Structure 1
Amino acid sequence: MEQFHWHVMPNMTERTQPRVKTIKFGDGYEQRQQDGINSDLRTYEVTLKVLRQESQYIDRFLSEHKGVKAFLWREPNRHRIITVKCPTWSTSVENTVTTITASFEEVVA
């Protein structure tokens, strides 16, 4: 499995939304349980600011994975290597610098 080796900017957003199964009964009573053994996978909104020439390599890497194929990424806050996919990214080109904003979703396979 390939690894995404570019460094993201420190102002990334990390979102956690545990999957929960809920059964609602009368009078406002409900029962909740986690949905599966990997129910709290995280999503990261990351930004990379690179020279224009370097941005083509990042875009090629993400394009080759097509939002389906997973890759390894070192999560900067905990410094652990996790498996993610990137279903969406955007590019903003300036004179010599390109800003890439991407969504990394943690996956299990």
Structure 2
Amino acid sequence: MIVPPTVRPLNAPMRARLDAFLTEPRLVGTPQASGLAFKWCVSSASYELEPRIVKAQFGDGYAQRRPDGINTQVCIWSLAMKNADSTTAGEVVQFLSARNGVEVFNWTPPRQQAEEPVVQDVICPSWSLAYGDLVSDGTLLYNVSFRFEQVFL
């Protein structure tokens, strides 16, 4: 004969903690932002969105689609700084190199109409440096292009 284990009922404080655990919103992870901000102006900026979806394809061309999790619309920015002086170009490349494509930093997209600008948490997985125009006094300018990907913390 199998005897079921005895289960003690929860006392009031334990029951309250369990109810709170099951109903209160909880932070699912620790924010990783570095507190650093990209402070330079860019001369060109564009972004693309490609929502992440899950698609189930059925016969006769019928398909069902749904969002793939939360935060399914991620901004991917293509940015450039054209004809920057050597000091500015060096600072930008040094900043991006120090983040190494993994450290999150803050960036404010250009041309915002709101009173309080929206700041995005981003990473920079790739960047490039090219020679820009040569000024008549011999000053060499540089073109820096890079890509920012929005992340959610």
Normalising by the smaller structure, the TM-score range is over 0.9
Which of 97, 102, 112 is matched with 1:68 structurally?
102
Q: Which residue of 1 aligns with 2:67?
A: 34
CA contact (8 A) 1:15 1:43 kept: yes
Q: How many residues align structurally? A: 108
User: Counterparts in 2 of 1:4-15, with a 5 A limit?
Assistant: 4-9=38-43, 11-15=44-48
Q: Which residue of 1 aligns with 2:77?
A: 44
| Secondary structure in structure 2 of the residue aligned to 1:58 | helix
Higher relative contact order (CA 8 A, sep 6+): 1
Q: Does 1:21 align with 2:21?
A: no
Amino acid in structure 2 at the alignment position of 1:98:
Y
Q: Which residue of 2 aligns with 1:101?
A: 145
Amino acid in structure 1 at the alignment position of 2:119:
I
Q: Which has the larger radius of gyration?
A: 2
CA distance in 1, matches of 2:42, 2:87: 17
| Secondary structure in structure 1 of the residue aligned to 2:108 | strand
| Secondary structure in structure 1 of the residue aligned to 2:92 | helix
CA distance in 1, matches of 2:111, 2:70: 23
| Secondary structure in structure 2 of the residue aligned to 1:69 | coil
Alpha-carbon deviation of 1:3?
Answer: 0.1
RMSD of aligned residue pairs (Cα, Å): 1.2
More strand by share: 1
Task: Give the TM-score normalised by structure 1.
Answer: 0.92
Task: Give the TM-score normalised by structure 2.
Answer: 0.67
CA distance in 2, matches of 1:31, 1:69: 36
CA contact (8 A) 1:52 1:93 kept: no
| Secondary structure in structure 2 of the residue aligned to 1:27 | helix
Which of 107, 112, 118 is matched with 1:80 structurally?
118
What runs of 5+ residues in structure 1 fail to find an aligned partner?
none
Alpha-carbon deviation of 1:62?
Answer: 0.2
Amino acid in structure 2 at the alignment position of 1:81:
V
Runs (4 or more) in structure 1 with deviation over 3 Å come to none
CA distance in 1, matches of 2:150, 2:91: 22
Amino acid in structure 1 at the alignment position of 2:152:
V
CA contact (8 A) 1:19 1:35 kept: yes
Q: Percent identity?
A: 31
What runs of 5+ residues in structure 2 fail to find an aligned partner?
1-34, 135-139
